[in-house]
Amino acid sequence: MLPSLSITLFHTHYEMELQPKKATAKKTYSLNDFKKKIGGEDIPDKPLVWFNCSEALQQATGLPGFPKGYVGLSRGFTNTGKSTAISEALVSAQKLGVLPIIIDTENNLGMERLKKLGFNWDDDFYIDIDNQYLLNNFGKRKNKDKKEASIEDLGDCINSLLDRQDNGELPYDLLFFIDSLGTLDCDMTINAKSNDTNQNNMWNAGAFERAFKGLVNYRIPASRKINSTYTNTMIAVQKIWTQGSAPMITVKHKGGEAFAYGARLIYHHGGIMSHGTKAIGATYGGKDILYGIKAGVSVFKNQIDGPLGGISLEGNVISTPHGFIGADAESIAAYKKKHIQFFKEALGNDVSADDMETREIDVTNTEE
pLDDT digits (tens, 9 = 90+) for 211-220: 999 999 999 9
What are the tens digits of pLDDT across the range 247-284?
889 999 999 999 999 999 999 999 998 889 999 999 99
What are the tens digits of pLDDT across the range 58-81?
999 999 999 999 999 999 999 999
What are the tens digits of pLDDT across the range 178-212?
999 999 999 999 999 988 888 888 999 999 999 99
What are the tens digits of pLDDT across the range 222-232?
999 999 999 99
Mean pLDDT of 331-356: 96
List the Cα angle 240/58/270 in 5-degree steps: 25
Domains of the chain: 46-268 (3.40.50)
CB 311 within 8 A of CB 299: yes
Tell me the H-state helices in 63-178. Answer: 82-95, 111-117, 131-134, 140-142, 151-166
The Cα 357–Cα 105 span in angstroms is 37
Q: By percentage, how much of the chain surpasses pLDDT 90? A: 79
pLDDT at 2: 43
The Cα 203–Cα 190 span in angstroms is 10
pLDDT at 6: 45
Residue with the bigger pLDDT between 149 and 9: it is 149
Amino acid sitting at position 279: A
Does the N-terminal peptide bond of residue 247 adopt cis geometry, omega within 30 degrees of 0?
yes
The Cα 78–Cα 285 span in angstroms is 31
What are the tens digits of pLDDT across the range 283-337?
999 999 999 999 999 999 999 999 999 999 999 999 999 999 999 999 999 999 9
Q: Can you give the three-state secondary structure of 264-315, one letter per residue?
A: CEEEEECCCCCCCEEEEEEEECCEEEEEEEEEEEEEEEECCCCCCCCCCCEE
pLDDT at 30: 83
Q: Evaluate if residue 7 carries a pLDDT over 50.
A: no
Query: pTM of this prediction?
Result: 0.89
Q: 3: phi > 0 → left, psi -120 to 50 → alpha, else beta; which?
A: alpha
- Most confident segment among 4-13, 101-110, 123-132, 187-196: 123-132
